[in-house]
Amino acid sequence: MHLVNTFEHEFADDIWSELTKKVASNMSRIVVSLASFNGEERIFACTGIFIGCNESNTRILTSASLVRASDDENKINDNLKIVVHLPNKQQTVGTLQHYNLHYNVAIVSIRGFRCLRTEEFHDPGEIKHHKKVLSIGRVFKSGKLMATGGILTDKPCKLDCKELMVSTCRISKAGIGGPLIDFHGNFIGLNFYGRKETPFLPRDTIMKLLSYFDGKGDVSPEIMDNQNRNRWPVPEMRWYYPSFSKPKPLTIEMPKYVKY
Protein backbone atom coordinates (compact mmCIF):
# COMPACT_ATOMS: atom_id res chain seq x y z
CA MET A 1 0.00 0.00 0.00
CA HIS A 2 1.37 3.42 -0.94
CA LEU A 3 0.23 6.91 -1.93
CA VAL A 4 -0.13 7.77 -5.61
CA ASN A 5 -0.82 11.06 -7.43
CA THR A 6 1.14 13.07 -4.88
CA PHE A 7 2.76 16.39 -5.72
CA GLU A 8 6.16 14.81 -5.02
CA HIS A 9 5.64 12.03 -7.54
CA GLU A 10 8.44 12.21 -10.13
CA PHE A 11 8.19 11.54 -13.86
CA ALA A 12 8.10 7.79 -14.50
CA ASP A 13 10.51 8.03 -17.44
CA ASP A 14 12.93 10.70 -16.26
CA ILE A 15 15.62 11.42 -18.88
CA TRP A 16 17.10 14.58 -17.34
CA SER A 17 20.58 13.02 -17.36
CA GLU A 18 20.33 12.59 -21.14
CA LEU A 19 19.78 16.28 -21.95
CA THR A 20 22.57 18.23 -23.60
CA LYS A 21 24.65 20.35 -21.23
CA LYS A 22 23.34 23.55 -22.81
CA VAL A 23 19.66 22.64 -22.48
CA ALA A 24 20.09 21.26 -18.94
CA SER A 25 22.00 24.38 -17.86
CA ASN A 26 19.41 26.77 -19.31
CA MET A 27 16.44 24.88 -17.86
CA SER A 28 18.05 24.59 -14.43
CA ARG A 29 18.26 28.39 -14.26
CA ILE A 30 14.71 29.25 -15.39
CA VAL A 31 12.54 26.40 -14.05
CA VAL A 32 11.18 26.70 -10.50
CA SER A 33 8.58 24.93 -8.39
CA LEU A 34 5.71 26.60 -6.57
CA ALA A 35 3.24 25.62 -3.87
CA SER A 36 0.14 27.26 -2.41
CA PHE A 37 -0.72 26.98 1.27
CA ASN A 38 -3.77 27.59 3.42
CA GLY A 39 -2.14 28.03 6.79
CA GLU A 40 0.17 25.03 7.18
CA GLU A 41 -1.77 22.89 4.71
CA ARG A 42 -0.34 22.63 1.23
CA ILE A 43 -3.12 22.93 -1.34
CA PHE A 44 -1.28 22.60 -4.65
CA ALA A 45 2.23 22.34 -6.08
CA CYS A 46 3.47 22.69 -9.64
CA THR A 47 6.23 23.99 -11.91
CA GLY A 48 6.83 27.45 -13.36
CA ILE A 49 9.37 29.37 -15.46
CA PHE A 50 11.01 32.77 -15.14
CA ILE A 51 9.71 35.06 -17.89
CA GLY A 52 11.02 38.46 -16.87
CA CYS A 53 12.93 40.34 -14.21
CA ASN A 54 14.14 43.79 -13.24
CA GLU A 55 15.86 45.29 -10.23
CA SER A 56 12.78 44.98 -8.03
CA ASN A 57 10.98 41.77 -8.99
CA THR A 58 10.96 38.60 -11.07
CA ARG A 59 7.92 37.16 -12.86
CA ILE A 60 7.01 33.48 -13.13
CA LEU A 61 4.64 31.86 -15.63
CA THR A 62 2.72 28.89 -14.23
CA SER A 63 -0.69 27.19 -14.06
CA ALA A 64 -3.67 28.93 -12.46
CA SER A 65 -4.50 25.60 -10.79
CA LEU A 66 -2.05 26.83 -8.15
CA VAL A 67 -4.62 29.34 -6.87
CA ARG A 68 -8.01 27.90 -7.84
CA ALA A 69 -10.61 27.65 -5.10
CA SER A 70 -11.15 24.02 -4.11
CA ASP A 71 -14.91 24.50 -3.72
CA ASP A 72 -15.42 26.51 -6.94
CA GLU A 73 -13.09 26.04 -9.91
CA ASN A 74 -14.42 29.26 -11.47
CA LYS A 75 -12.82 31.35 -8.72
CA ILE A 76 -9.42 31.82 -7.15
CA ASN A 77 -8.64 31.58 -3.46
CA ASP A 78 -7.33 34.98 -2.38
CA ASN A 79 -6.24 33.66 1.01
CA LEU A 80 -3.54 31.30 -0.25
CA LYS A 81 0.13 31.86 0.48
CA ILE A 82 2.37 31.15 -2.53
CA VAL A 83 5.88 29.81 -1.89
CA VAL A 84 8.48 29.54 -4.67
CA HIS A 85 11.35 27.02 -4.57
CA LEU A 86 14.17 28.80 -6.41
CA PRO A 87 17.01 27.29 -8.48
CA ASN A 88 19.45 28.13 -5.65
CA LYS A 89 17.36 25.86 -3.36
CA GLN A 90 16.09 28.79 -1.31
CA GLN A 91 12.39 29.53 -0.87
CA THR A 92 10.59 32.85 -1.05
CA VAL A 93 7.02 34.13 -0.94
CA GLY A 94 5.32 35.01 -4.22
CA THR A 95 2.41 37.28 -5.12
CA LEU A 96 -0.28 36.49 -7.68
CA GLN A 97 0.04 39.23 -10.29
CA HIS A 98 -2.20 38.08 -13.16
CA TYR A 99 -4.35 35.06 -13.96
CA ASN A 100 -6.77 33.77 -16.57
CA LEU A 101 -8.99 30.84 -15.64
CA HIS A 102 -10.17 30.24 -19.21
CA TYR A 103 -6.63 29.31 -20.26
CA ASN A 104 -5.53 28.23 -16.75
CA VAL A 105 -2.53 30.56 -16.78
CA ALA A 106 -1.12 32.64 -13.91
CA ILE A 107 1.75 35.06 -13.36
CA VAL A 108 3.42 35.08 -9.94
CA SER A 109 5.92 37.77 -8.96
CA ILE A 110 8.67 37.57 -6.35
CA ARG A 111 10.80 40.31 -4.80
CA GLY A 112 14.38 40.28 -3.58
CA PHE A 113 15.64 37.75 -6.12
CA ARG A 114 17.17 38.55 -9.47
CA CYS A 115 17.20 35.55 -11.78
CA LEU A 116 20.22 34.78 -13.95
CA ARG A 117 18.15 33.92 -17.00
CA THR A 118 14.56 34.09 -18.28
CA GLU A 119 12.65 32.24 -20.97
CA GLU A 120 13.20 34.22 -24.15
CA PHE A 121 10.34 32.68 -26.16
CA HIS A 122 12.39 32.24 -29.31
CA ASP A 123 10.18 31.24 -32.23
CA PRO A 124 10.61 27.45 -32.61
CA GLY A 125 9.17 27.64 -36.11
CA GLU A 126 6.11 25.78 -37.27
CA ILE A 127 4.78 23.33 -34.71
CA LYS A 128 4.82 20.15 -36.74
CA HIS A 129 3.16 16.92 -35.73
CA HIS A 130 5.55 14.08 -34.81
CA LYS A 131 8.20 16.61 -33.74
CA LYS A 132 10.25 15.32 -30.80
CA VAL A 133 9.75 17.34 -27.62
CA LEU A 134 10.67 17.43 -23.93
CA SER A 135 8.56 18.23 -20.87
CA ILE A 136 10.40 19.74 -17.90
CA GLY A 137 9.30 19.79 -14.27
CA ARG A 138 10.69 20.51 -10.81
CA VAL A 139 9.56 18.80 -7.59
CA PHE A 140 8.66 21.28 -4.84
CA LYS A 141 10.15 19.75 -1.69
CA SER A 142 13.36 18.35 -3.13
CA GLY A 143 13.79 20.85 -5.95
CA LYS A 144 14.71 17.98 -8.26
CA LEU A 145 14.57 18.71 -11.98
CA MET A 146 12.95 16.17 -14.29
CA ALA A 147 12.50 15.68 -18.01
CA THR A 148 10.54 13.26 -20.14
CA GLY A 149 10.32 12.92 -23.90
CA GLY A 150 7.55 12.52 -26.43
CA ILE A 151 6.26 13.73 -29.78
CA LEU A 152 3.62 16.23 -30.86
CA THR A 153 0.40 14.65 -32.09
CA ASP A 154 -2.51 15.79 -34.21
CA LYS A 155 -5.05 14.41 -31.73
CA PRO A 156 -7.70 16.85 -30.50
CA CYS A 157 -7.43 17.65 -26.81
CA LYS A 158 -10.19 16.27 -24.60
CA LEU A 159 -10.23 19.43 -22.50
CA ASP A 160 -12.68 22.12 -23.58
CA CYS A 161 -10.18 24.68 -24.88
CA LYS A 162 -9.73 24.79 -28.64
CA GLU A 163 -6.23 26.30 -28.52
CA LEU A 164 -4.79 23.34 -26.62
CA MET A 165 -2.53 20.85 -28.37
CA VAL A 166 -1.28 17.43 -27.24
CA SER A 167 2.08 15.69 -26.84
CA THR A 168 2.78 12.09 -25.88
CA CYS A 169 4.92 13.17 -22.91
CA ARG A 170 3.70 11.61 -19.66
CA ILE A 171 4.25 13.90 -16.71
CA SER A 172 3.26 13.79 -13.05
CA LYS A 173 1.29 16.48 -11.22
CA ALA A 174 4.58 18.14 -10.30
CA GLY A 175 5.09 18.96 -13.99
CA ILE A 176 1.90 21.01 -14.36
CA GLY A 177 2.83 24.54 -15.41
CA GLY A 178 6.21 23.42 -16.70
CA PRO A 179 7.62 24.14 -20.16
CA LEU A 180 7.32 21.98 -23.25
CA ILE A 181 10.47 22.51 -25.32
CA ASP A 182 12.18 21.09 -28.38
CA PHE A 183 15.54 19.33 -28.15
CA HIS A 184 17.33 22.66 -28.67
CA GLY A 185 15.57 24.19 -25.66
CA ASN A 186 13.13 26.37 -27.61
CA PHE A 187 9.84 27.00 -25.79
CA ILE A 188 6.82 25.36 -27.44
CA GLY A 189 4.13 25.59 -24.78
CA LEU A 190 2.95 25.32 -21.16
CA ASN A 191 2.04 21.84 -19.90
CA PHE A 192 -1.12 20.79 -18.10
CA TYR A 193 -2.11 17.31 -16.92
CA GLY A 194 -3.37 14.30 -18.82
CA ARG A 195 -3.41 10.70 -17.64
CA LYS A 196 -1.93 9.18 -20.80
CA GLU A 197 -0.88 12.24 -22.81
CA THR A 198 -0.13 15.86 -21.97
CA PRO A 199 -2.19 18.84 -23.18
CA PHE A 200 -0.32 22.10 -23.58
CA LEU A 201 -1.08 25.72 -24.39
CA PRO A 202 1.00 26.77 -27.42
CA ARG A 203 3.56 29.56 -27.34
CA ASP A 204 1.58 31.90 -29.62
CA THR A 205 -1.46 31.92 -27.33
CA ILE A 206 0.74 32.48 -24.29
CA MET A 207 2.46 35.42 -25.97
CA LYS A 208 -0.95 37.03 -26.60
CA LEU A 209 -1.94 36.49 -22.96
CA LEU A 210 1.30 38.03 -21.71
CA SER A 211 0.77 41.04 -23.96
CA TYR A 212 -2.78 41.39 -22.63
CA PHE A 213 -1.54 41.21 -19.04
CA ASP A 214 0.96 43.97 -19.84
CA GLY A 215 -1.81 46.17 -21.23
CA LYS A 216 -0.85 45.96 -24.88
CA GLY A 217 -2.47 42.76 -26.04
CA ASP A 218 -4.90 41.88 -28.78
CA VAL A 219 -6.77 39.03 -27.05
CA SER A 220 -10.49 39.66 -27.32
CA PRO A 221 -12.17 40.81 -24.08
CA GLU A 222 -14.86 38.18 -24.67
CA ILE A 223 -12.27 35.44 -24.19
CA MET A 224 -10.53 37.09 -21.26
CA ASP A 225 -13.84 37.68 -19.48
CA ASN A 226 -15.43 34.37 -20.48
CA GLN A 227 -17.54 33.05 -17.61
CA ASN A 228 -17.79 29.55 -19.09
CA ARG A 229 -14.53 28.40 -17.59
CA ASN A 230 -12.89 25.27 -18.89
CA ARG A 231 -12.33 22.38 -16.52
CA TRP A 232 -8.72 21.43 -15.77
CA PRO A 233 -8.91 18.08 -13.95
CA VAL A 234 -6.07 17.01 -11.66
CA PRO A 235 -6.03 13.51 -10.12
CA GLU A 236 -6.53 13.40 -6.37
CA MET A 237 -4.02 11.79 -4.07
CA ARG A 238 -5.10 8.32 -2.97
CA TRP A 239 -3.86 5.10 -1.46
CA TYR A 240 -2.93 2.36 -3.89
CA TYR A 241 -3.47 -1.23 -2.89
CA PRO A 242 -1.48 -3.71 -5.02
CA SER A 243 -3.63 -6.42 -6.48
CA PHE A 244 -2.60 -9.91 -5.55
CA SER A 245 -3.28 -12.87 -7.77
CA LYS A 246 -6.12 -14.96 -6.48
CA PRO A 247 -5.08 -18.35 -5.18
CA LYS A 248 -6.18 -21.26 -7.28
CA PRO A 249 -9.05 -23.19 -5.80
CA LEU A 250 -7.93 -26.23 -3.91
CA THR A 251 -8.79 -29.43 -5.74
CA ILE A 252 -8.71 -32.79 -4.07
CA GLU A 253 -8.51 -35.94 -6.07
CA MET A 254 -10.78 -38.59 -4.73
CA PRO A 255 -9.31 -42.08 -4.68
CA LYS A 256 -10.49 -44.37 -7.41
CA TYR A 257 -11.88 -47.72 -6.44
CA VAL A 258 -11.64 -50.74 -8.67
CA LYS A 259 -14.56 -53.07 -8.80
CA TYR A 260 -13.83 -56.79 -8.56
* pLDDT of 165 above 60: yes
Q: Assign residue 176 the CATH number of its domain.
A: 2.40.10.120
pLDDT of residue 251: 43
- The highest-confidence range among 14-23, 234-243, 250-259, by mean pLDDT, is 14-23
143 or 123: which leads in pLDDT: 143
Report the pLDDT averaged over residues 108-114.
92
Q: Is residue 77 part of a domain?
A: yes
Q: Is residue 124 part of a domain?
A: yes
R_g over Cα of the chain: 22
What three-state secondary structure class fits 147?
Answer: strand
Report the pLDDT averaged over residues 232-243.
59
pLDDT in tens, 199-231: 999 999 999 999 999 885 544 454 555 545 565
Q: Is residue 24 part of a domain?
A: yes
Q: Is residue 166 part of a domain?
A: yes
Q: Is residue 161 part of a domain?
A: yes
Q: Contact at 8 Å (CB) between 39 and 13?
A: no
Distance, CA of 249 to CA of 238 (rounded, Å): 32
Q: Is residue 258 part of a domain?
A: no
Indicate the number of domains in the chain.
1
pLDDT in tens, 53-75: 988 899 999 999 999 988 887 88
Report the pLDDT averaged over residues 18-40.
97
Distance, CA of 110 to CA of 58 (rounded, Å): 5
Q: Is residue 240 part of a domain?
A: no
Report the pLDDT averaged over residues 152-175.
90
Domain hosting 155: range is 10-224
* pLDDT of 189 above 80: yes
> Pairing mode, if any, of strands 2-4 and 91-100?
unpaired
What does pTM read for this prediction? Answer: 0.84
* pLDDT of 131 above 50: yes
